[in-house]
Structure 1
Amino acid sequence: MARLAGKVAVVTGAGSGMGAATVARFCQEGARVVAVDSSGAQEDIAARCGEQCIAYQGDVSQVNSIRGMLAAAAEHFGGLDILFNNAGIQGPIADTADYSEDDFDRVIAVNLKGVFLGMKYAIPLMLERGGGSIVNTSSMASLVSFPGMSGYCASKGGVSMLTKLVAAEYAARGIRVNAILPGAIDTGMTRAMPKDYIDGAVAATLMGRIGTPDEIANLAVFLASDESSFITGTLTPVDGGYTIV
């Protein structure tokens, strides 16, 4: 039996990378999915999945987009069971004294406020159905520092703590909240970073390689499914061993 049969999911950052891989896996496992992105690329992702997936264009830092994507799940598929808060941006690489306030505000707005808004407005829909699963994309940058990435590290640290907080608030009401902490993963964001930065991260990864979006999607499916029914508030690195030494 499909692991997500009968479930309705919203996936943000669905236009590429980890989000696109997770949309495909959720659909393969029987979920009906709203694929959300700001780029327009979510249209192609949804089209590949067929009628069980619809595209929604929105910016997760804007409350109207959050409300719209959740309304689309309710209107098209009847409710909401799973939210994968995956949308994120890297921001510039610059020492803190040279990091602009505008850049910092934008990274926080997308990476942290977007997760907060997603949970805030998804939780009432999940409570109507007796519970649900929220999966947030944090980062190994919430555990260890990456010089030059103050906005990104701060935002992902916030996502990890918010994950634990909301898990504690709603555990008794049937909503589970967990976070995935990717390491260096082969995505457009990673490929856009300076080569020496990525080479250094791979060199410090015990498994000696970069990860794949499918390896993130595998965990997202498990955390979204009833197979993880006694798991909440976890922060799980998928980093090839980077953060264990």
Structure 2
Amino acid sequence: MEVSYEIILNAILETLYMVSISLFFGAILGFALGIILVVTRKGHILENKWIFGIINPIVNIFRSIPFIILLVLLIPLTRLIVGTAIGTTAAIVPLVFHIGPYISRLIENSLLEVDDGIIEAAKAMGATPFQIIRKFLIPEAFPSLVLSVTTATIGLIGATAMAGAVGGGGLGDVAITYGYQRFDEMTTLVTVIILVVFVQIIQMIGHKLEHHFRRVS
């Protein structure tokens, strides 16, 4: 059975929907956690061993759980939030919990690359912790942060494909339902090509933005 263009187009839109919404909320969660992990660690501007000691293992736990298992574990929460555990919108909940901690580690690594001398200089000028974060830490790490978000977005695309295995919709669902289960190799190939094109476009945009911001910073 040949898959229609309408099915492929709808799957592309579903994938873009899942990626964009999940990335938006996941980035908010990831940036918040990443910044907290940096500024509360020993010797930093808001050192707090209790907060760091709680958030750090929680992030590690979520980072350790494979997405397909996390998707199943969060079914009760997904039902509570969206009223169902099946479908494109339902897949967004586990996607956020998957990508948020992942982004937080990338953000943490990017912010830790900032020279300590810049932070010390900001302190000497009388900057508050919030001002140091907003005016020194984030701007200095911004090119690296762009690459971090690019990497996270590519990982998220792969996760949306896995979500298709349990009825999450998108290109992964088409590849499994119409390609694998119906032995339609052409459909599987088309979905793979589209996903590869998505990844290449995002990677190219991310590198160009990183190069631009590193040049002007």
TM-score (norm 2): 0.33
Which protein has greater RCO, CA pairs closer than 8 Å, 6+ apart? 2
Q: Whose Rg is larger?
A: 2
Q: Which has the higher strand share?
A: 1
TM-score (norm 1): 0.30
